[in-house]
């Protein structure tokens, strides 16, 4: 398991790397901001529950947590919400109407602890005000990112992700061409509707992020980018001009399975 990464003052990314055979590593990242009123950004995925809870609560005492921000309802973001709500009795869950509705399909969420913040709205967490700003690309209608003007960190939810060849922390750790290929792959895979978008309109939405001039862009699904938001925004705007991604078909999937089996050491039979 990778250790939490301090990306700005009192701001930590909790990285969970997952291997996609034949493609590389895809991260499921969450974040912790240890301000006057500590906030957990996302709750990670059920499959890494123990590791996530251990990492998050190594950074902040669960009883001190006052806010849990969920960018959207997907299980890689909300998957441990019930365990976190139970561990953090003083925390409210920041979501929105659509996010609550979609999570209600699985979770028995306590309505009095819900706190709705829509795209463009802000909320105060003691020593700072955080703004919910929807990223240009996303895969749930509930999605909002999170902008912390005190540190210049923009948490972009699923946007700005990238499949990478190996474990890393920052975009600068990855060869630029390899990163661009992984970035173009992931952002098209996660938002296949890119092919029906108007590049001019997408660019106007990307401008919302550009104007923030983030010092750090944290993606839920890739390494963090420091002092390179102009470049990454240009790359994201380009996604609107690209052809659709061609994903593996059944025959290619079977080839992937065979390669995985060949790579795994034989399991000793039970005695
Ligand atoms: Fe998602
Ligand atoms: Fe996600």
Residue 260's pLDDT is 84
Residue 92 has what pLDDT?
A: 98
How far, in Å, from the CA of 265 to the mean position of ligand 1? 33
Q: How far is the CA of 269 from the centre of ligand 2 (A)?
A: 38
Q: Return the ligand number nearest the Cα of 138.
A: 1
Instruction: Find the 256 Cα to ligand 2 centroid distance in Å.
Output: 23
Q: Report H helices in 112-175.
A: none
pTM: 0.95
Residues, CB within 5 angstroms of ligand 1 (ion): 74, 139, 158
CATH architecture of residue range(s) 5-121+129-258: 4-Layer Sandwich (3.60)
**158: CA distance to ligand 2 center in Å?**
5
* Run means of pLDDT, 10 residues per run, the chain, 271 residues: 96 97 94 98 98 98 98 98 98 98 98 98 98 98 98 98 98 98 98 98 98 98 98 98 96 90 66 52
Cα 70 to middle of ligand 1, angstroms: 11
Interior angle at CA 168, CA 158 and CA 40, nearest 5: 50
Pairing of strands 24-33, 11-20: antiparallel
pLDDT of residue 10: 98
Domain ranges within the chain, ordered by starting residue: 5-121+129-258
DSSP calls for 34-49: -SSS-EEE----GGGH
């Amino acid at each position: 398991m990778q250790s939490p990464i301090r990306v700005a003052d009192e701001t930590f990314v909790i990285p969970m790397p997952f291997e996609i055979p034949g493609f590389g590593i895809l991260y499921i990242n969450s974040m912790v901001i240890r301000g006057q009123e500590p906030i957990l950004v996302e709750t990670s995925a059920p499959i890494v529950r123990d590791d996530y809870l251990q990492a998050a609560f190594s950074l902040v005492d669960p009883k001190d947590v006052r806010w849990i921000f969920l960018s959207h309802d997907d299980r890689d973001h909300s998957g441990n919400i019930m365990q976190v709500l139970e561990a953090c009795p003083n925390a409210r869950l920041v979501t929105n109407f659509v996010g609550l509705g979609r999570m209600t399909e699985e979770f028995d969420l306590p309505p009095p602890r819900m706190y709705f913040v829509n795209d463009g709205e802000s909320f105060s967490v003691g020593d700072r005000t955080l703004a919910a700003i929807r990223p240009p690309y996303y895969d749930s209608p509930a999605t909002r990112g999170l902008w912390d003007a005190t540190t210049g960190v923009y948490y972009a939810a699923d946007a700005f992700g990238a499949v990478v060849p190996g474990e890393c922390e920052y975009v600068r750790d990855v060869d630029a061409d390899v990163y661009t290929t992984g970035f173009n792959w992931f952002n098209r895979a996660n938002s296949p509707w890119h092919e029906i978008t108007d590049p001019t309109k997408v660019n106007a939405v990307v401008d919302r992020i550009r104007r923030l001039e983030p010092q750090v862009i944290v993606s839920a699904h890739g390494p963090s980018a420091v002092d390179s938001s102009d470049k990454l925004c240009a790359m994201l705007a380009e996604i609107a001009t690209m052809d659709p991604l061609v994903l593996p078909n059944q025959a290619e999937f079977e080839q992937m399975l065979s390669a995985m089996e060949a790579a795994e050491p034989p399991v000793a039979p039970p005695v």
